[in-house]
Structure 1
Amino acid sequence: MAAGSVFIVGFINPFIFLLLIILVPVIWLIIRFHQKPSRQLKRLESITCSPIYALFSTSLNGLTTIRAFKAENSFIQLISNRIDVNTSACINVQAASQPFALLLAVVYSSTAALSLISAISITLSFQWGVRRLSEADILMTSGERIDEYSHLPPEEDEGGYKRLVKTSPEWPVHGTIEFRNYSLRHRTNLEYAIRNINLRIESGQKIGIIGRTGAGKSSLIKGIFRFIDRSNVDGQILIDNVDISRITLNDLRSHLTVIPQQSILFSGTLRYNLDPYNSYSDEQCWKVLEEVQLKPFVMHHPEGLLMSVAESGNNLSIGQCQLITIARAILKKSEILLIDEATAHVDQKTDDLIQTIIKEKFQDRTVMTIAHRLNTVAKCDRILVLDN
């Protein structure tokens, strides 16, 4: 296109070719001067962009963990810092390119004919700018949704209670659980998932919970962990005769143990996944691995307890992930264990192994088990059937 324009102008005014003999070397020198720093700045922009995508992906995978530990502000600050660094690099790229464009414009604008071409180019650029502004205005709806999500209220904290009960480090001592006229719904505009539950579970009892899909089995566990907003809960749950709504979330959840349907494993070492707070010795970690029959597997690994575990345990089998979760529960020694269909995705052999481990290692603990197989809860002391 540029060559065609020069040819037409030269055809009309042949003296333009004499001017080009002077202009072409000047333009070539400008390009050579601009090329190296521009390449370095663009490389810097790409390097600073990668950490943003990496942190964004990691944050999405660990979103529940971030919210559970109220670390939203830390991650917002972290990604803001990375965006600031990348934005600085982008500004430098643009700043370096604009003088170059201006110099070329000055060189090419030496003739009236090329000025007309520049005028046409400016018109096209103006049209492009207006179109992009319109598209940006439309796409800002996504930004509004992100802003709305970023302002979601965090979980209720100590300020939401009239009076808090300070529990002892040994609480709960017995592990009794009592539901008093307990009802729960997930959101204000929804029907109650469970309604008017009255139940007392004695210390050391094994309770099997069964029911159709949507009957409210998992909602019981959510209620015990207080995952539901208080405005959507009626009645009480008492653990060792203490109303859990009067206990801080940290105190409550740190004294309970859950084995979920999908194992929660973090990117790091096996030892970190067994003992995130580094509260136990290596000997204790090896002991629980032996109790869940994972010791031979770990011993054959060159790094042993320091073997790498991928995010969500992607480098392990489903059964191994679940056994690591159980080993972590054994190590913690909580008086109350909640199991949410822990064997739903494992084969029958692994299911039998898990049931044997739970029976032997949690013999004197209070255990609530949600099951999809009747044989899983067949040996429980009591069966709770949820319906309607």
Structure 2
Amino acid sequence: MTEPVAPTPTARAGSNWQTYKRLLAYARPFWIAFSLAVVGNVIYAAASTGMAAAMEYVITAIENPTDQNRLFLTLLIVGVFAFRGLGTFMSQYFISYVGRQVINALRTQVFDRLMDLPSRYFDDNASGRLVSKLTFNVEQVAEATTNAVTITLREGLTILGLLGFMLYTNWKLTLIFLAVGPLIGLVVSYASKRFRKISRRIQGSMGDITHVASEAITGYRVVRTFGGEGYERERFRQVSERNLKQSLKMASTQAISVPVIQVLVAVAIASLVWTMLAPEIRGAMTTGQLVAFITAATTMAKPIRQVTSVHAKIQKGVAAAHDVFETMDEEPEHDNGSFEPERVEGNIEFDRVAFRYRDQLDNVLQDISLEIPAGQSVALVGRSGSGKSTMVSLLPRFYEISEGDIRIDGCSIRDFRLSALRAQIALVTQNVVLFNDTIAANIAYGALRDHSLEEIREAAAKAHALEFIDRMPDGLDTMIGDNGVMLSGGQRQRLAIARALLKNAPILILDEATSALDTESERHIQEALETVMQGRTTLVIAHRLSTIEKADRILVMDGGRIVESGRHEELLAAGGAYAQLHQMQFSESA
């Protein structure tokens, strides 16, 4: 196996340029605003050059203080600054407009892509880091498309304008001033490479900060119960200090490179002053022209410093854009099917199905063959890690089958359009997901939002949720907080069941759906589930065997295989794995 070859500096530079070009393409739809920003920058540059050129008239007015010169000089100063102010407004506002539009487009596209990515992507990437991409990294991209472009255009055009004026005034002196150009280029080149490298580390550390903080905040009850405050503080301190260290490296590089460039510019200006006193160089230049020339040279120091310091922003933006585009270029879920039935009957067939997670050698599921007639309830039991949840996750294609096939009504699930396949399945999991919205919005979520209030109440009643909903201050319109924090575990579970009931899908998956309920609630829910399971193909994963005794068939799983199959009484009589599990639970409860 060959070692991966590291990209050459030329390849990296090409890649950076390609990324920046792709980034600038997002500004194309807003070319009118961008053009107005360019016009503003041209006005600003012209005004800055005019300020230097005006020094000749200032000297003339001082040497010859007539009323006409006084009035002209006063109007000239006001006019130049007003002209420059107009250019500043146009350049800053319109480029900011373009930048915010680019951020909005990027952020929306990244989120849209996240909605299409397969489950394995979310398994591989912590949620905090993904949130950091949407917030911090996209803002870093903005620096490259707004401030950086503004400064590069405005100060770049100012440098060109001042250079043009200097060449026109005395080309020999200008060439002496330009002699330090290559040295400035070397400093900028070194700083740019360092900025880009540090920027990548800063983005990684920001992702760590978001990740650690979100875990500690969402899991605050566990943190406090188990005395994890000190551990979390230390974990956060470490990632925060890593971010601080990289940020200080960035600041030190910027702090060193800017004064070095200023000193080089100062050496160039000092060389000018020394040289211009020689009669053969000065030629026929008047005192006013000399002052104007020196003013132009010294005025150029600020735009040169600004243009060189903008490299930090551009490199941050390019590094962030690499990361953002990496997510956008991730391959979405395969959705090549075209079959879109209105409603399936619910016959399910597993045909020699095998599955393994990516990067794993061993199969998690092996040789699963099973037929479930429409309307039948099948319970999956077995020890933790036996493959129960993985098996039901293959049905809505959260993961792709490694071998074999799964068919619904004789049609392979690969031939279904994903949205059509998932429309046939209602799901209630052990880890209930609720949103910071009203109870009604959580029951009628997503594609269910068009259901009437009466239908929502009916689903809530069947799930035995109305008994606590009606006690809420605003009933169905009560806000339930982040992930339903204001509700008990049993109440949250009942809302999830009400959501599944409202969907009224022909296939129902219950993954430990009653695990969070107390005995009294479980009895009510069990009655509701028995009602809703009628006429639907139901797959039930249960830890407590007492909840699945009435299932049409019970499958016992072990090591990714089905080791026993039959009804409750049959399996008990067989005295195998199911009987052992039942005996174990019976002993525990006793």
TM-score normalised by structure 1 residue count: 0.64
Correspondence for 1:20? none
Q: C-alpha separation between the residues in 2 aligned to 1:322 and 1:51? A: 41
Q: C-alpha separation between the residues in 2 aligned to 1:55 and 1:82? A: 14
Correspondence for 1:385? 556
Correspondence for 2:431? 262
- Give the number of the structure whose alpha-carbon radius of gyration is greater: 2
Report if the CA contact (8 A) 1:51-1:82 is conserved: no
Correspondence for 2:334? 155
Aligned equivalent of 1:240, options 381, 388, 409: 409
Correspondence for 2:266? none
Spell out the pairing of 1:158-169 with structure 2 (5 A cutoff).
158=337, 167=341, 169=342
The one-letter code of the counterpart of 2:420 is D
Correspondence for 2:469? 297
Report if the CA contact (8 A) 1:222-1:228 is conserved: yes
The offset of 1:178, in angstroms, is 2.5
The one-letter code of the counterpart of 1:133 is K
The offset of 1:327, in angstroms, is 0.6
The offset of 1:255, in angstroms, is 1.0
Distance 1:270 1:85, change over 3 A: farther
Matched, 1:187 2:358: yes
Q: C-alpha separation between the residues in 2 aligned to 1:314 and 1:58? A: 28
Determine helix, strand or coil for the equivalent of 1:257. strand
The offset of 1:287, in angstroms, is 1.6
Determine helix, strand or coil for the equivalent of 1:320. helix
Correspondence for 2:34? none
Q: C-alpha separation between the residues in 2 aligned to 1:309 and 1:45? A: 41
Spell out the pairing of 1:212-361 with structure 2 (5 A cutoff).
212-229=383-400, 232-234=402-404, 236-266=405-435, 268-273=437-442, 274-277=444-447, 278-295=449-466, 296-297=468-469, 300-302=472-474, 304-308=475-479, 312-314=483-485, 316-345=487-516, 347-361=518-532
**Greater shift in the superposed pair: 255-264 or 353-362:** 353-362
Correspondence for 2:545? 374
| Structure 1 segments unaligned to the other structure (5+ residues) | 1-29, 69-75, 104-118
Matched length: 344
Q: C-alpha separation between the residues in 2 aligned to 1:226 and 1:349? A: 35
CA offset digits 1:153-192 (Å, max 9, x no partner):
4323127xxxx5x63x2322xx332223222223375322
Higher strand share: 1
CA offset digits 1:92-122 (Å, max 9, x no partner):
366667899999xxxxxxxxxxxxxxx99x9
Identity of aligned residues (%): 25
Correspondence for 2:343? 170
CA offset digits 1:351-382 (Å, max 9, x no partner):
44433331233234222111233333344333
Matched, 1:92 2:150: yes
The one-letter code of the counterpart of 1:263 is V
Higher relative contact order (CA 8 A, sep 6+): 1
Distance 1:97 1:347, change over 3 A: farther
The offset of 1:338, in angstroms, is 0.5
Distance 1:83 1:349, change over 3 A: farther
Higher helix share: 2
Aligned equivalent of 2:369, options 190, 198, 207: 198
The offset of 1:243, in angstroms, is 3.5
Report if the CA contact (8 A) 2:426-2:509 is conserved: yes
The one-letter code of the counterpart of 1:87 is T
Q: C-alpha separation between the residues in 1 aligned to 2:85 and 2:551? A: 75
Q: C-alpha separation between the residues in 1 aligned to 2:196 and 2:354? A: 46
The one-letter code of the counterpart of 1:300 is M
Report if the CA contact (8 A) 2:103-2:138 is conserved: no
The offset of 1:196, in angstroms, is 1.4
Distance 1:265 1:62, change over 3 A: farther
Q: C-alpha separation between the residues in 2 aligned to 1:325 and 1:51? A: 38
Determine helix, strand or coil for the equivalent of 2:446. coil
TM-score normalised by structure 2 residue count: 0.45
Distance 1:155 1:272, change over 3 A: farther
Report if the CA contact (8 A) 1:48-1:85 is conserved: no
Correspondence for 1:108? none
Q: C-alpha separation between the residues in 2 aligned to 1:205 and 1:285? A: 26
Distance 1:320 1:50, change over 3 A: farther
Aligned equivalent of 1:134, options 169, 194, 197: 194
Determine helix, strand or coil for the equivalent of 1:286. helix
Determine helix, strand or coil for the equivalent of 1:91. helix
